[in-house]
């Protein structure tokens, strides 16, 4: 018996080619994406990597995205390669212009590197969002459309704006703690399938009634 779409398919629903599972279209080893996370873009969802900019292997930073995330059209993940040296008189990148200017090349220690960009599980990112280098977005968070995310967003919080700021919690602390403890996104496909009603219910107490089936 099938318990949902194939996580290894490019298009989970062959009738909707604007939506693809990102894990199955990325080629860069420094982009790591979990099962069932999708990008939705009528102009080419399979071109997700084009929305991860300034991402150079020699810098070593990674984009890590968890499972079951929903990412809308217009996303841009700006990685650490976009950073310029700020400790000198000028920020201008003479070295990349060549023709003798390459002698001014900065070392990695000269650059304001922010580390990996990490998106948790079950995160919903609205249209035309920009995520800056080194940001961590927690499990279950929601990012409003047209936001520029420059700071970390806690799990199960709604955030938006430019710069992006936390608007409110999605649930009370007790439920947030419970959801983080059960990690439903790590359940086997059968358990998720058999508990879809609870996962999708407006009655938030139903999630605590689920019987562990393995």
pLDDT at 58: 83
For the whole model, what pTM was predicted? 0.91
The CA distance from 75 to 198, in Å, is 30
Mapped onto helix, strand or coil, the DSSP state of residue 1 is: coil
Sign of torsion over alpha carbons 11, 17, 23, 29? positive
pLDDT at 88: 73
- pLDDT tens column, 23-37: 999 999 999 999 999
- pLDDT tens column, 148-192: 999 999 999 999 999 999 999 999 999 999 999 999 999 999 999
Give the C-alpha distances (Å, rounded to integers) separating 203 from 147, 171, 200, 209: 29, 12, 9, 11
Spatial CA neighbour of 65 closest among 26, 14, 96, 107: 26
User: Which strand (E) or helix (H) includes residue 196?
Assistant: helix 196-199
Return the domain boundaries, the chain.
19-81+115-169, 171-213
pLDDT at 100: 78
The CA distance from 192 to 198, in Å, is 10
- pLDDT tens column, 70-125: 999 999 999 988 777 777 777 787 777 888 787 767 776 777 788 999 999 999 99
pLDDT at 213: 45
Q: Which residue has the higher pLDDT, 182 or 214?
A: 182
Best CATH choice for the domain 19-81+115-169 from the list 2.160.10.10, 3.90.1170.50, 1.10.600.10, 2.40.30.20: 2.160.10.10
- pLDDT tens column, 45-64: 999 999 999 998 888 899 99
Catalytic residues: 84
Q: Which residues of 152-162 are buried (b: 16+ CB within 10 A; e: fewer)?
A: ebbbbbebbee
Strands 148-149 and 63-65: unpaired
């Amino acid at each position: 018996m099938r318990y949902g779409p194939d996580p290894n398919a490019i298009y989970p629903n062959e009738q909707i080619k604007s939506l693809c599972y990102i894990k199955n279209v990325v080629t860069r080893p420094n982009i790591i994406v979990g099962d069932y996370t999708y990008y939705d873009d009528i102009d080419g969802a399979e071109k997700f990597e084009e929305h991860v900019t300034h991402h150079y292997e020699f810098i070593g930073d990674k984009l890590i995205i968890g499972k079951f995330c929903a990412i809308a059209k217009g996303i841009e993940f700006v990685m650490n390669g976009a950073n310029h040296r700020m400790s000198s008189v000028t920020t201008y990148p003479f070295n990349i212009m060549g023709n003798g200017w390459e002698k001014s090349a900065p070392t990695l220690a000269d650059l304001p590197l922010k580390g990996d960009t990490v998106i948790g599980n079950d995160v919903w990112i609205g249209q035309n969002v920009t995520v800056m280098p080194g940001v961590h977005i927690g499990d279950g968070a929601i990012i409003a459309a047209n936001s520029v995310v420059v700071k970390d967003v806690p799990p199960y919080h709604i955030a938006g704006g430019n710069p992006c700021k936390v608007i409110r919690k999605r649930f009370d602390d007790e439920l947030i703690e419970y959801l983080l403890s059960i990690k439903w996104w790590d359940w086997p496909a059968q358990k998720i399938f058999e508990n879809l009603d609870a996962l999708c219910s407006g009655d938030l107490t139903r999630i605590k009634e689920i019987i562990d089936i393995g």
